[in-house]
């Protein structure tokens, strides 16, 4: 419960000594509320806040405690922080966790980079060129992005089953094959975000570069790309996060334990009722959650801006 | 909108837009002495290498696809290679250079698979109908075999390589190895002792203990004696002696029928992709045929399936709607609570409140499934002091649990967007409402909520669409269970349509890709309608 202490402190601080917390007292007339009125107008908000934070944080504390508990069973994890040891973390890597983490990182990083490059290139073409079929392609992309790729997962599975005979590397149970599937969703999801951002870069810049003799590729790589780096980072990180949590397609494509991503591997542990390596799962969950939580804290302001239109969480 | 209405906006075409085919008049640009693409710059060389690699891969694919006679793949690869080479070596196709890679991936892994889903929905593709008719014929020949009375016995060694099992036998003094897929073929360098193979390079010979451990797989293994399925297969009952089995079912290509050599019954092909006898007895496996609207009609008319399908559909809508409603109202309530500048420590509250949102959704579902475990879970054992509530096993409690966990996962997002929207409502509007004598509730109902909804409503619609397909939560939390008793498909009370697709296509029991695709098509339609409503609200289409 250590995480809650600061807020509790701030609550009591507010009740007891209004205005005496190291401030030059009496310099302004103190209009702050006291006593019952304070409770009625402000105090209850702190009560709500504390209750909600307990609801928010308890499962997270629970998983952290289970990760540190060497006992390793569901029952043993119920006494929060009764014993603390890192033995689960040590055991993780002997059980394939390291391989899953590497698979997840490779898949997510390659997908993110591919998504950014292809999305940026497409946005550049749409934003800077007027060509036949431009409008219909844009409208088509808008339509396609409504449908999550997951809806066609059965067909993806059967396509990869057949591709296995031609390009084994793009077929079932292959990590490059899964990345290729994810890249198929790259244009649909992100082009609009990028397109809007590219339109805000003044065209006079490219024109100036063109007059100086730059080719279209030079304009793209040396003028536009550096100017849109922030949105590229956001698109890349959002792609990373959603790929990281993707379960449906990954679990149909990847079939052998050594190819699993973290999502599939940890699901195997958590759903293993007989052996129930719950401590291992919890330790793996803590490690797997850290990169995503860090990315989220980094991305927070973009999410608040409604940039992601509600479908980031995977 | 048409091209004409767009035209006034296009004077911003950059001069010298080389590849533009558009109607915009070309501004007079002094002719350039030479294209950049003809100069041997590092970029040009990089392009050459990349396109060369793609070409090499494509040609390899064409040869490989032609080898397995996948003519569709050959045709696609030829077309794709032509487009790629045209785009990157033509001076005119500048936009294409930037669009081709993304569009190719989109075409294969999004558009094609959508169309393919549509096609599969009209077939009986699935277990028992997995392949073509000729595959089915040879499978029937292989599976319906009996040991001939005088067939020779082979001392056999069971060998393994990776996941593959095989037999090693000695035939005519030569060691031979074969698997279920590859007929017996001579191998070099095998060690033979007393007529039995004891070691084969590249293979591991299983010991008796190993064979006992994999007895089921070993006794099920049938290794073809030769390329002709009519020659029969080698099988073993005990892992040490194998016999040749010969087909009981004889296929007659002229009449396209199977005849059972022992009973004399003939089997003719049916329009559902099976060989069927006059009495209606079916030979397995069958093959893939189109069955028209059957997958769709069974969902509504098959008495065993239609009830389940209706329940799942209703729950999908209820789940998506209630998820949006509960998360939105809790998020809005908290946003209102903490939108008061007099509350101290708001930053701390906010950063702790978004923690569930930052925690990966798939992990949250798994953690909660452990916490809600009825016997050992944290909720029953600690919070409820040893209660024995079957949170995930009772149909209604499981639904409640799913909604509760989704509330935990989703309200921080609603809190964030509501806070953002509240802060963008100008203060003078509220002030004037107060001047006119509106109370807190009245001001909220008539001023705050309508203004808030303007910016939040599109997000609520997309949140609905997202939850409509929230497979990860359902599958990882409850697995769709508790299962409906006696259902023909492995589907349960908390299954939503998308997780039903997964269970029908990939779940335990029989896999029916045709039915799963038909359900997918229905989801496509629902999602399309939802998005259309969303677009009408946001009018995104006008901003192109």
**pLDDT at residue B404 greater than cutoff 90:** yes
Cβ-nearest to B343 among A45, A165, A296: A45
Asked if the model's pLDDT at residue B407 lies above 50, the reply is yes
Please name the residue of chain B whose CA is at the shortest distance from the CA of residue A241: B360
Query: Percent of chain A scored above 70 by pLDDT?
Result: 83
At what angle are helices B395-423 and B449-468 packed, to 10 degrees? 140
Cα distance between residue A310 and residue B221, in whole Å: 51
pLDDT of res. B38: 55
> B353 and A191 in contact by Cβ < 8 A?
no
Residue A217 has pLDDT above 50, yes or no: yes
Show me where the domains of chain A are located.
Answer: 2-16+25-68, 92-304
State how far residue B267 is from chain A, nearest Cα, in angstroms.
30
- Predicted confidence (pLDDT) at residue A311 exceeds the cutoff of 70: no
Instruction: Judge whether A288 is closer than 8 Å to chain B, CB to CB.
Output: yes
Per-residue pLDDT for A206 more than 50? yes
pLDDT of A36 strictly over 50: yes
Is A149–B113 a contact, with Cβ atoms under 8 angstroms apart? yes
| Chain B: closest CA distance from residue A306 (Å) | 7
Question: Cα–Cα distance between B407 and B327 in angstroms, integer?
Answer: 5
pLDDT at B188 over 60: yes
DSSP 8-state symbol, B31: P
pLDDT for residue B539: 60
Q: Find the range with the poorest average confidence among A26-30, A209-213, B255-259, B315-319.
A: A26-30
Minimum CA–CA partner of B3 in chain A: A135
Closest by Cβ to A124, choosing from B98, B366, B373: B98
Could you give the 3-state DSSP secondary structure of residue B268? Answer: strand
Which chain A residues contact residue B479 at CB under 8 A?
Answer: 271
Query: Tokens representing B416?
Result: 């964030």
> For residue B336, what are its two tokens?
């209102």
CA distance B45 to chain A (A): 13
DSSP codes, A233-269: HHHHHHHHHHHHT--HHHHHH--SGGG--HHHHHHHH
Cα angle: B442, vertex B445, B450; to 5 degrees: 140
Q: Search chain B and give the residue with CA nearest A244.
A: B360
Please compute the mean of the pLDDT values over residues B210-216 and round it to a whole number.
Answer: 79
CATH classification (class only), B135-283: mainly beta
Q: Tell me whether residues A121 and B101 touch, CB distance under 8 A.
A: yes
DSSP per residue, A70-132: TT-STGGGSSTTSS--SHHHHHHGGGTHHHHHHHHHHHHHHHHHHHHHHHHHHHHHHHH---T
Between A and B, how many CB-CB pairs are < 8 A?
A: 349
Tell me which DSSP letter residue B230 carries: G
The pLDDT, as a whole number, for residue A308 is: 38
Q: Do residues A13 and B351 lie in contact, with contact meaning Cβ atoms separated by under 8 Å?
A: no
User: What is the rounded CA–CA span in Å between residue A3 and residue A223?
Assistant: 46
Task: Report the gap between the CA of A207 and the closest CA in chain B (Å).
Answer: 6
Contact in structure between B120 and A154 (CB atoms under 8 Å): yes
Are A191 and A168 within 8 A, CB to CB?
no
Are the beta carbons of A296 and B105 separated by less than 8 Å? Answer: no
Q: CB contact, 8 Å: A23 with chain B?
A: no
SS3 B226: coil
- Report how far residue B522's alpha carbon sits from residue B513's, in angstroms, rounded to the nearest whole number: 14
- Comparing A98-107, B230-239, B282-291, B456-465, the range with the smallest average pLDDT is B230-239
Nearest Cα of chain A lies from the Cα of B263 at a distance, in angstroms, of 38
Q: Which of B520, B524, B526 is nearest to B503 (CA)?
A: B520
Q: Is B48 helix (H, G, I), strand (E, B) or coil?
A: helix
Given the cut 0.85, state whether the ipTM is greater than it: no
Best of A182, A200, A313 to substitute, by most chain B Cβ atoms within 10 angstroms, is A313
Residue B540 pLDDT: 53
Confidence of residue B194 (pLDDT cuts 50, 70, 90): confident
Inter-chain touch A266–B15, beta carbons under 8 Å: no
For A29-41, what is the mean pLDDT? 71
Q: Is the pLDDT of residue B47 over 90?
A: no
Average pLDDT of the residues in B121-149: 81
- Say yes or no to pLDDT of B13 above 90: no
Nearest by CB to residue B116, choosing from A53, A118, A155, is A155
Chain-centroid distance, C-alpha B245: 39
Rounded Cα–Cα distance for residues B381 and B375 (Å): 8
Long-range contacts of A146-149 (CB under 8 A, 24+ apart): A146/B465, A146/B527, A146/B528, A146/B531, A147/B114, A147/B524, A147/B527, A147/B528, A148/B469, A148/B527, A149/A181, A149/A182, A149/A184, A149/A185, A149/A249, A149/B109, A149/B110, A149/B113
Please check whether residue A16 touches B, CB under 8 A.
Answer: no
Q: What is the mean pLDDT of chain A?
A: 81
Q: Is A193 on the interface with B (CB under 8 A)?
A: no
- The span from the CA of B505 to the CA of B126, in Å, is 8
Q: Which of B362, B527, B544 sits opposite A138 (nearest CB)?
A: B544
The dihedral built from the CA positions of residue B379, B380, B384 and B389, taken in this order, carries a sign that is positive
Reading the block at residue B234, the tokens are 């080698």
Q: What architecture does CATH give domain B300-543? A: Orthogonal Bundle (1.10)
Of B12, B358, B471, the CB nearest to A203: B12
- Residue from the list A32, A141, A151 with its beta carbon closest to the beta carbon of B523: A151
What is the C-alpha R_g of chain A? 26
pLDDT at A98 over 50: yes
Q: How far is A87 from chain B (nearest CA, A)?
A: 20
pLDDT at res. A181: 94
Long-range contacts of residues B323-326, Cβ cutoff 8 Å, at least 24 apart: B323/B403, B323/B406, B323/B407, B323/B410, B323/B463, B323/B467, B323/B470, B324/B460, B324/B463, B324/B464, B324/B467, B326/B403, B326/B406, B326/B407, B326/B410, B326/B411
Average pLDDT over residues B53-77: 90
pLDDT at B382 over 90: no
Longest CA–CA separation in chain A, Å = 83
Interface test with B, best of A57, A124, A151, A299 (most B CBs within 10 A): A151
- % of chain A residues with pLDDT over 90: 32
* Contact A264/B at CB under 8 A: no
Q: Is B259 left (phi over 0), alpha (psi -120 to 50) or beta?
A: beta
CATH dotted code for A92-304: 1.10.3720.10
Closest residue in B to A32 (Cα) is B342
Residue A106 near chain B (CB below 8 Å):
no
Nearest CA to B26 out of B6, B48, B37, B11 is that of: B11
Other beta carbons within 10 Å of B43: 15
Residue B4 has pLDDT above 60, yes or no: no
- How far apart CA A183 and CA B110 sit, in angstroms, is 10
Q: What separation in angstroms does the CA of B25 have from each of A307, B57, B95, B195?
A: 37, 40, 18, 87
- Residue of A301, A158, A163, A162 lying closest to A237 (CA atoms): A301
The predicted structure's pLDDT at residue B436: 87
The pLDDT of residue A122 is 93
- Rounded Cα distance, B154 and B195, in Å: 9
C-alpha A59/C-alpha B408 separation (Å) is 10
Chain B contacts of A252, Cβ < 8 Å? 502, 506
Contact A64, B355 (CB under 8 A): no
């Amino acid at each position: 419960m250590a995480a809650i202490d600061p807020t509790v402190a701030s609550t009591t601080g507010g009740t007891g000594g209004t205005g005496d917390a190291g401030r030059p007292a009496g310099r302004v007339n103190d209009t702050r509320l006291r006593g019952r009125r304070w409770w009625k107008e402000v105090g209850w908000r702190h009560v709500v806040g504390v209750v909600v934070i307990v609801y928010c944080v308890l499962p997270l504390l629970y998983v952290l405690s289970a990760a540190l508990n060497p006992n390793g069973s569901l029952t043993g994890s119920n006494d929060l922080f009764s014993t603390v040891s890192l033995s689960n973390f040590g055991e993780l890597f002997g059980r394939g966790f390291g391989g899953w983490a590497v698979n997840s990182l490779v898949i997510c990083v390659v997908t993110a980079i591919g998504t950014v490059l292809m999305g940026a290139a497409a946005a550049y073409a749409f934003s800077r060129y007027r060509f036949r079929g431009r409008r219909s392609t844009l409208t088509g992309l808008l339509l396609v992005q409504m449908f999550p790729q997951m809806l066609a997962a059965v067909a993806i599975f059967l396509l990869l089953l057949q591709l296995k005979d031609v390009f084994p590397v793009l077929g079932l149970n292959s990590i490059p094959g899964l990345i290729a599937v994810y890249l198929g969703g790259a244009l649909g999801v992100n082009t609009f975000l990028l397109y809007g951002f590219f339109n805000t870069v003044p065209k006079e810049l490219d024109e100036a570069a063109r007059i100086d003799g730059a080719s279209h590729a030079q304009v793209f790589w040396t003028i536009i790309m550096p100017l849109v780096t922030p949105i590229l980072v956001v698109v890349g990180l959002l792609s990373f996060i959603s790929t990281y949590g993707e379960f449906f397609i990954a679990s149909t494509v990847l079939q052998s334990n050594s190819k699993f991503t973290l999502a599939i591997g940890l699901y195997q542990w958590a759903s293993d009722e007989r052996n129930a390596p719950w401590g291992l799962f919890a330790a793996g969950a803590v490690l797997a959650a850290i990169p995503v939580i860090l990315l989220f804290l980094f991305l927070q302001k973009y999410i608040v801006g409604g940039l992601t239109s509600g479908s980031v969480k995977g | 909108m048409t091209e004409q209405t767009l035209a006034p906006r296009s004077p911003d075409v950059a001069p010298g837009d080389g590849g533009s085919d558009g109607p915009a008049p070309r501004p007079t640009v002094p002719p350039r002495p030479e294209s950049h693409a003809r100069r041997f710059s590092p970029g040009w060389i990089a392009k050459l290498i990349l396109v060369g690699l793609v070409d090499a891969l494509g040609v390899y694919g064409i040869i490989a696809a032609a080898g397995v006679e996948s003519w569709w793949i050959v045709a696609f690869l030829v077309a794709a290679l032509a487009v790629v080479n045209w785009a990157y070596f033509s001076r005119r196709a500048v936009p294409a250079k930037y669009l081709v890679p993304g569009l190719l991936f989109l075409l294969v892994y999004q558009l094609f698979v959508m169309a393919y889903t549509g096609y599969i929905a009209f077939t009986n593709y699935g277990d028992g109908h997995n392949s073509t008719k000729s595959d089915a014929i040879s499978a029937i020949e292989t599976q319906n075999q009996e040991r001939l009375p005088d067939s020779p016995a082979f001392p056999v060694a069971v060998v393994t390589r990776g996941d593959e099992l095989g037999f090693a036998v000695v035939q005519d003094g030569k060691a031979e190895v074969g698997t279920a897929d590859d007929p017996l073929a001579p191998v070099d360098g095998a060690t033979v002792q007393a007529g039995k193979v004891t070691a084969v390079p590249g293979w591991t010979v299983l010991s008796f203990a190993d064979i006992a451990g994999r007895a089921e797989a070993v006794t099920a293994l049938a290794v073809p004696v030769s390329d002709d399925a009519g020659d029969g297969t080698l099988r073993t009952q005990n892992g040490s002696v194998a016999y040749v089995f010969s087909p009981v079912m004889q296929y007659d290509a002229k009449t396209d029928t199977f005849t059972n050599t022992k009973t004399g019954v003939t089997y003719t092909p049916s329009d559902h992709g099976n060989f069927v006898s006059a009495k209606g007895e079916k030979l397995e496996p069958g093959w893939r045929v189109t069955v028209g609207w059957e997958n769709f009609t069974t969902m509504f008319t098959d008495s065993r399936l239609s009830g389940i399908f209706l329940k799942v559909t209703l729950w999908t809508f209820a789940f998506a709607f209630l998820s949006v409603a509960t998360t939105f109202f809790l998020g809005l309530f908290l946003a209102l609570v903490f939108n008061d500048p007099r509350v101290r420590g708001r930053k701390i509250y906010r950063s702790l409140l978004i923690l569930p949102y930052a925690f990966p959704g798939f992990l949250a579902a798994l953690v909660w499934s452990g916490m809600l475990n009825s016997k050992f879970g944290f909720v029953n054992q600690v919070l409820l002091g040893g209660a024995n509530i079957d949170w995930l096993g009772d149909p209604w409690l499981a639904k409640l649990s799913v909604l509760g966990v989704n509330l935990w996962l989703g309200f921080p997002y609603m809190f964030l967007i509501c806070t953002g929207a509240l802060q963008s409502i100008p203060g003078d509007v509220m002030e004037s409402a107060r001047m006119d004598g509106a109370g807190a509730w009245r001001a909220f109902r008539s001023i705050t909520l309508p203004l808030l909804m303007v910016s939040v409503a599109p997000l609520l619609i997309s949140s609905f669409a997202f939850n409509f397909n929230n497979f990860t939560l359902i599958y990882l939390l409850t697995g769709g269970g508790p299962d409906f008793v006696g259902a023909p498909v492995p589907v349960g009370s908390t299954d939503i349509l998308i997780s039903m697709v997964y269970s029908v296509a990939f779940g335990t029991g029989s896999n029916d890709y045709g039915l799963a695709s038909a359900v997918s098509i229905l989801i496509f339609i629902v999602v399309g309608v939802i998005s259309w409503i969303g677009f009408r609200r946001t009018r995104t289409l006008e901003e192109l």
